[in-house]
Amino acid sequence: MVLRLLQAQAELLPPSDRNRSPSPWRCAVVVSNKVSKRSVRRNRLRRLLHAHLLRQAPTGTHPLWLLLSLKPEAAATAEPRLLEECTHLLRKAGLLHEPGSPP
């Protein structure tokens, strides 16, 4: 799994979205055909990771855009392990606090 971050740039959003209050982050999850040839499996992984990202509480105040890209071996990985790796990447990027540490 690969996580890429970019500072949000409002001018790149559609005009209808520019005036909305910015969410702490916008997320895109990429699951290619190399991960699984079955679209049902790819969509399930995408929904799983989107839901996991929405449950996370971001610590930064600056809006970010996140791109989460799965590697081909992700199809054989158990779902709890994928979620654990996603959380680890968010912590490593400084977007989540370590459990037990002050915010």
What secondary structure does DSSP assign to 8-59, as a single string? --GGGS-HHHHTSPPPSEEEEEE--TTT-S-HHHHHHHHHHHHHHHHHS---
pLDDT computed for residue 93 by the predictor: 86
Quote the pTM value. Answer: 0.77
Domains in the chain (CATH in brackets) are 2-92 (3.30.230.10)
Token pair 């910015």 is found at: 22
pLDDT in tens, 29-88: 999 999 999 999 999 999 999 999 888 866 556 678 889 999 998 888 999 999 999 999
Identify the three-state secondary structure at position 55: helix
Name residues whose C-beta falls within 8 Å of residue 37's C-beta, 6 or more positions apart in sequence.
none
